[in-house]
Structure 1
Amino acid sequence: MGDMGMNLGFIKRAVWPLAAAALLCVSSVRAQAPVEEIPIETLFKKPAFTGLVLSPDQKFMAALMPSNGRSNLAVIDLENRKAVRLTNFRDLDVLQPRWVNNERIAFTLVDMQGIETRNTGGLFAIDRDGSRERMLVEPMDGGSSVKFVWRTTRILGRIKGNKEEVLVEANDRNVETADIYRMNTLSGRKTLVTDRGPGHVVRWVLDDDMAPRATFNHDSKKNRWWFSLLKGGEWVTAAQWDEQLRDVVIPMAFDPQDSNTLYVASNVGRDTLALFKYDVQAGKLGELVFGDARYDIASFGLIGEALGEGGNLIFAGTEESPGKLVGISYQADKPRRYFFDEAAARTQAMVDASLPGMNNSFSLSASTTLVFSRSDTNPGQYFLFDRDKRRLEDTGIRVRPDIDPKKMAPMMPVSWTARDGVRIDGYLTLPKNYVKGSPVPLILHPHGGPWAKDNWQYNAEVQFMANRGYAVLQPNFRGSTGYGANHLRLSYKHWGDTMIDDMIDGVEWAIKEGYADRKRVAVYGASYGGYATLQAMVRRPDLFKWGVNYVGVTDMAVHQDTQPAQLYSDFSDLAKIINGDQSADKDLFEKQSPARHVDKIAAPVFHAYGGEDRNVDFANGRTIKSAFDKAKKPFEWMFVSDEAHGYRQDANVFEFYNRFDKFMKANTPAVAPMASTK
């Protein structure tokens, strides 16, 4: 794989002694300088370091860093602050490094393509000194060909007292279900642990002895989800549900102190997923541990892994022995944590008081731990926290060291009421030079998915638009995840009507509140957000002055006919229920396909697509280009044959955003010209 040493000269060893309750931070306040235009390259270059993980002995950190335009693995020695790059991949990206022991690291390989990450199924291991490199599982083709029989292996965790093996789950025997294996990270040998299971396993849940005793299951052919328990040597169905998401019970973790208690996420008797205890022997849902009437504490898993919603249980033990449940973290208007343990709450409060206004994540399992601190204006930085000595040490490692948080614009959680009475949440980011009472240009920025969620966090695109003088509105319209089952159900077969209404109602709210100038409103989105861009311009041609459609769906029938997930997997059955079907829902597809109504669009649009997109096929791009040509509507066009669902290569990323920059300036003049820092 190749290794390369480099001295991280920019890493500072700043040690902060913590007071019993908090560290008193003193900062000077400077008069606000005029807003400067931040170069595209500064905003959109790849992050310097991500994914830092402490070794078990807390002497080294595994990290991801860019090389060859890809994310590669490095190890940082905490004693001398020297980083050694261990891998040199050019076609794939390293993801999720995990320490097997103090010497060895296992990691997966993926293909990060702009706004989409393709799982390749590859699994590797290497010692921190670069020796004993081993391909444990061969990755599937990372090129342009498509394979739909996915064989993947995922690490579950270390095994008590075992320095060479880890527990993994893999669908080697049956593509539709995962088994658990012990895998030797030196030889690659797998030993089957679960010789039989309930089938269609999405996720195994292990007890404190690392024994599999519960599963979360999904049969996409039957649109059936269920929760299974191992009782008396047999797997029994404890709960089941369909896409309507009623009476959901999802197993999360066994109580390490009581093997008969399973923590589950459930919406029985409520709308949002909350944390309950489940009595394994009695087979009954027990007491409510914690719930939020507005937000889910876990993902429903409607179409796979969590996409911005849900949360995590916080334990105070170790990976091999979790200890006890002390709290829960989840996504609300801002990230929230709720603690059941006073000592854990005090520890979190101590760190939060020392790093105010930040989302501070760290493990409570060790006396020395890594703190990842980030916010809406700060992409993230890493600290070492010694709980016993009450010391917080700045490692000097920044995710994006060229980004100055003081120059970034804060995200403001907002909400409005849609025309049919549904509450819609979102975020409003105002430019730094916004003055109350002086409305500014606004860009409506719907997220992709659509079953995903925007959260309070640093977002380079939002900062780019705000830096150029625009307010940015990010609506979590109906169908956005994390707001309960009803918020999801309301989106079924409503891609192009009530979901769009939610967005437009948000724009009207921003205008009424005095934030936005009605005469200077635009819209930009990617994937489903690209679809929403076009559909919003179709429905309200009087409102939007320009739009940017990035890899967006343009025709519902074209999408159904060309999306690999609908063509070659069982998702097609679920898609017909939640998206619609061109045969059964002909009128709906006609109304909700913006490419068929381009004649109604009254403003220019910038379209951008990639030729290797496996999510939104390029046929959508051809369709919309042809429609704009036929209608003789003004548009700009960008197509890159070897890019996929969003652009990955720096040259293409920079070109896209530079063209975006020029396009929006040409079509909606912002505030007074800003000085460049170039």
Structure 2
Amino acid sequence: MPAHLAFVARAAGAFLLTLVLAFPAFGQGAAPPVEAFFANPLLDDATLSPSGRYLAAISGAPGRRDVLVVVDLVENKAKAVAAYSEVDVLQFQWVNDERLIYNVSDKQVGPGGYQLASGLYAVNRDGGGMRQLASRRGVEFVSEGGSRLDRRILPWHTFMLPQRGPQDANTVYVTSPELDDYNVVRTVNLLRLDTVTGQVQTVQRPGPVDEWLLDNAGEPRLTTRSEGGKTSIHYRDPASSKWRLLAQFSTWQGSPGAFTPVGFGADGTLYVRAYEGEDTASLHTLDLATGKVNPKPLVVTPGYDFDGALVDRRGKVLGASVETDAPAIVWFDKEMQAVQQGIDKLLPGTVNLISVASRADAPWVLVRSFSDVRPVSYNLYQPSTGKLNPVGSSLDGIDPAKMGRQDPVRYKARDGREIPALLTLPPGGAAKNLPLVVLVHGGPFVRGNHWGWDPQTQFLASRGYAVLEPDFRGSTGYGMGHYRAGWKQWGLAMQDDIADGARWAIAQGTADPKRICIAGASYGGYAALMGLVKDPNLYKCAINWAGVTDINLLYDGHWSFDSDLGEEWKLHGMPVLVGDQVKDAAQLKATSPIHQAARITQPLLLAYGAVDRRVPLYHGNQFRDAVSRHNKQVEWVVYQDEGHGWTRPQNRFDFWKRVESFLGRHIGSSAAR
């Protein structure tokens, strides 16, 4: 048995032994199969109970459904508290030390928004006291007892709030959107739900709400609402329980004094993310009396925007998570800093992110470890003894020696702007004159690249490809200047940044100039197509999955299927960040893959989900019809039950086998030189 599963195996007995048997050993020198990269996790969402005595996690294995497991860390006993033959446990939270809530989904189908209508259930940590709290797609779940009359079932649009609640009773806070006749969200209500009786109380809100923020005690304290291009933040006074407007500013363009709430300290201090006249955002506190950001930052990440969360327990903020070249935690608490140092000595070569239970006397902390060549694994650490106990790994069958090393790099775009990127090289062998895949992130106004083991990147590297992942202008996380430089630059300077990265890799001697393919999903799929339009001599081929093929289609939709992009974004965000349909009409046509399809003659692999509501199938259909008139090298696949990405493992396996074959023929070992 692998050592990393020893602790869980001792605790759970035969139940979790399936984790060990997930994948067979590989032959000497053989690359891991596609299933090793794209299977569902074997262990996911491990979380300590409020006291720290119990550990809950979602456990999976080939051939069975994902189940919710609770381990008693004192007695070394484990129990599956929610396990079904027809559905998988999707997410869970601790209500208190004795009770959990969870929802379910059928992960063997891919309905698109599979987290919607996933139901809501509660169960004791020993598997008793199970109760259905919210309906699942309008159907009551069969695995519960009791008569229909003694139960209150909330509507399907009832969701867990991904924040730590009070954890001192049987109640939790859940959200329940109010929907209009077209299922468009008008406002989001917050409900205090008793997980034993099913009784609910609706929290008074200051008006329409998009998001709620709980304080350190797990009580509602802040709301945000974006409407008419402005974001309003309301604060609930703990003494009077009355709401008041705390701040208001432009949603998309920002304004002086703008901030993003991060979390509350035990004393009621509000921590926020703000720029305060600098190019990069930092962690600050906010004066709740004036609504103004305190100018002195608490955490600064030079060259990067602060974009983390508070690490806290009940009564104290211990630190804050950050991400620069790699994720880390900045500790305010000296004892936790010492704990981190002790863990890092025991687990060298990995990023070790610590999560804590809500009570200060908890005996354990949970450690989530990973690196560029190692998938996530979980360990328990006992500060009083300095002992580390392995819990389990998210994936089995991944040999770090057969993974590619990943390095953060920077290169210059043609106008001198510095572009951050990740470069992953194949394991072992030569690092020069390699076939290159330029992998473009979606969004595009997000941080695309995060150092650490990634199945897509490592799958490509294991097949002999160098992988370059640029955070082109418009990507967030690198300062306001880098972000704003990408506004209205779809297919223009953003596209040039990507091409300049490929040319940089050629100049470095890393990439073979005759064997470069561009690939991506969503916006990345759009960039892959525009790469063939703008730089036909640079890219030999392209792969687009779930990709935008025309910006106007994002605005206008189609008679057969509408996009889920909100009207607020279409009215106030897209005209500023992407392009105005009237003022920028000529630009949108010039940067439309559909309108430029006749210029694309290189081999293409196109893949779409039939129930995608972000980039509906008509994007793919219209582009396929347009490009196929001039290009006979188009491969096309539609996954009928998928949305914006592939949720079914079988579809992931199928798609990446297609990618492997496609690349092999055009830039890989089978390609003509």
| TM value normalised by structure 2 | 0.84
Q: Which residue of 1 aligns with 2:120?
A: 123
Aligned pair partner of 1:572 in 564, 570, 573 = 570
Give the conservation status (yes or no) of the 8 Å contact 2:226–2:251.
Answer: no
Q: Secondary structure at the match of 2:119?
A: strand
The amino acid across from 2:656 in the alignment is Y
Within-5 A mapping of 1:240-255: 240-247=249-256, 248-255=258-265
Cα pair 2:133 2:195 within 8 Å, conserved: yes
2:308 matched residue in structure 1: 311
Among candidates 475, 478, 483, match of residue 483 of structure 1: 478
Equivalent of residue 280 in structure 1, options 288, 296, 309? 288
1:224 aligns with 2:215: no
CA contact (8 A) 2:224 2:234 kept: yes
Indicate which of 341, 345, 356 corresponds to 2:337. 345
Q: Is the 1:183–1:191 Cα contact (8 Å) retained in structure 2? A: yes
CA distance in 1, matches of 2:59, 2:16: 12
Q: Look up the match of 1:294.
A: 303
Deviation at 1:636, TM superposition (A): 1.2
- The reply on whether 1:200 has 2:197 as its aligned counterpart is no
The reply on whether 1:450 has 2:456 as its aligned counterpart is: no
Per the alignment, residue 378 of structure 2 pairs with 382
Contact 1:75–1:84, Cα closer than 8 Å, also in 2: yes
The within-5 A match list for 1:394-473 is: 394-395=390-391, 397-436=392-431, 438-452=432-446, 453-473=448-468
The residue aligned with 1:18 is none
Q: 1:49 aligns with which of 37, 43, 46?
A: 43
Name the amino acid aligned to 1:532.
A
Deviation at 1:335, TM superposition (A): 0.9
**What displacement does 1:645 show?**
1.9
Partner of 2:276: 268
Q: CA deviation at 1:290?
A: 1.5
* In structure 2, distance between residues paired with 1:581 and 1:34: 56
Shift of 1:407: 1.5
Which secondary structure does the structure 2 equivalent of 1:533 belong to?
helix
Preserved CA contact (<8 Å) 1:413 1:427: yes
Structure 1 residue 646, shift from structure 2 partner: 2.3
CA distance in 2, matches of 1:657, 1:625: 20
Residue 551 (1) aligns with residue 561 (2): no
Q: CA deviation at 1:472?
A: 0.1
Which residue matches 1:38? 32
CA apart distance, 1:5: 9.3
Change (3 A) 1:10 1:649: closer
Question: Contact 1:606/1:663 (CA < 8 Å) preserved in 2?
Answer: yes
1:619 partnered with 2:618: yes
Indicate if the aligned counterparts of 1:151 and 1:172 stay in contact, CA closer than 8 A: no
Q: Do the aligned residues in 2 keep the contact of 1:156 with 1:169 (CA within 8 Å)?
A: no
Shift of 1:124: 1.9
Give the deviation of 1:150 after TM superposition.
6.0
Is the 1:451–1:479 Cα contact (8 Å) retained in structure 2? Answer: yes
Q: In angstroms, what is the RMSD of aligned CA positions?
A: 3.0
Provide Cα deviations, 1:249-277, integer angstroms capped at 9, x if missing partner.
Answer: 22222331x33x32221112112221112
Aligned-partner Cα distance in 2 for 1:419–1:455: 24
Conserved in 2, the CA contact under 8 Å of 1:11 and 1:81? no
Gaps of 5+ in 1: 13-32, 143-148, 298-309, 674-678
User: Quick one: distance in 2 between partners of 1:141 and 1:330?
Assistant: 41
Q: CA deviation at 1:620?
A: 1.2
Change (3 A) 1:7 1:200: closer
Counterpart CA distance in 1 for 2:15 and 2:636 is 43
Letter of the aligned partner of 2:332 in structure 1?
F
Question: Aligned residues: percent identity?
Answer: 32
Moved more, 354-363 or 224-233: 224-233
Higher fraction of strand? 1
| One-letter code aligned to 2:522 | S
SS of match in other structure, 2:389: strand
Instruction: Tell which deviates more after alignment, 41-50 or 118-127.
Output: 118-127
Q: Distance in 2 between matches of 1:129 and 1:170?
A: 28
Counterpart amino acid of residue 391 in structure 1: K
Per-residue CA deviations over 1:559-603 (Å, capped at 9, x if unaligned) read: 333374467643321233322244443212211111222222242
**Contact between 2:59 and 2:66, CA under 8 Å: does it hold in 1?**
yes
Amino acid of the residue matched to residue 231 of structure 2? W
Alignment of 1:368 with 2:364, yes or no, is yes
**d(CA) in 2 for partners of 1:494 and 1:173?**
35
Offset, 1:285: 2.3
Q: What is the distance in 2 between the residues matched to 1:403 and 1:312?
A: 30
- Measured after TM superposition, the shift of residue 617 of structure 1 is 0.7
Cα offset, 1:114, TM superposition: 9.9
Question: Which of 614-623 and 628-637 deviates more?
Answer: 628-637
In structure 2, the residue corresponding to 1:644 is in which secondary structure? Answer: coil
Residue in 2 aligned with 1:561? 556
Q: After superposition, where does 1:460-539 map in structure 2 within 5 Å?
A: 460-539=455-534
Alpha carbons 2:79, 2:126 under 8 Å: kept: no
Amino acid at match of 2:655: F
CA deviations 1:430-474 (Å, max 9, x no partner) are 0113425x3211100001111232201211111111111110001
Please tell me whether residue 176 in structure 1 is matched to residue 173 in structure 2: no
The 1:153–1:60 alpha-carbon spacing in structure 2 relative to 1, beyond 3 Å, is closer
Equivalent position amino acid for 1:335 in 2: P
Summarize the Cα distance change of 1:451–1:141 in structure 2 as closer, same or farther, 3 Å threshold. farther
- The residue aligned with 1:154 is 161
Q: Which residue of 1 aligns with 2:220?
A: 212
Deviates more, 1:410-419 or 1:560-569: 560-569
In the alignment, structure 2 segments of 5+ residues that lack a partner are: 1-11, 21-26, 140-155
- TM-score normalised according to structure 1 size: 0.84
Alignment CA distance shift 1:398-1:448 (3 Å): same
Q: Residues 668 and 355 from structure 1, CA distance in 2 versus in 1: closer, same or farther, beyond 3 angstroms? A: same
The answer to whether the Cα contact below 8 Å between 2:81 and 2:123 also exists between their aligned partners in 1 is no
Shift of 1:671: 9.3
**Residues 592-643 of structure 1 deviation map (CA, whole Å, 9 limit, x = unaligned):** 1112222222420111112111111110111121122211341111122222
Secondary structure in 2 matching 1:362: strand
Distance 2:113 2:501 in 1: 27
Q: Provide the secondary structure at the position in 2 that maps to 1:196.
A: coil
Query: Does the 8 A contact of 2:157 with 2:176 survive in 1?
Result: no
Q: Deviations over 1:506-553 (max 9, x none)?
A: 111111112111111111111111111111111100011111111211
Q: Is the 8 A contact 1:6 1:82 kept in 2?
A: no
AA in 1 matched with 2:255: R
Q: 1:490 to 1:139 in 2, by over 3 A?
A: farther
Structure-2 residue corresponding to 1:609: 608
Partner of 1:483, secondary structure, is coil
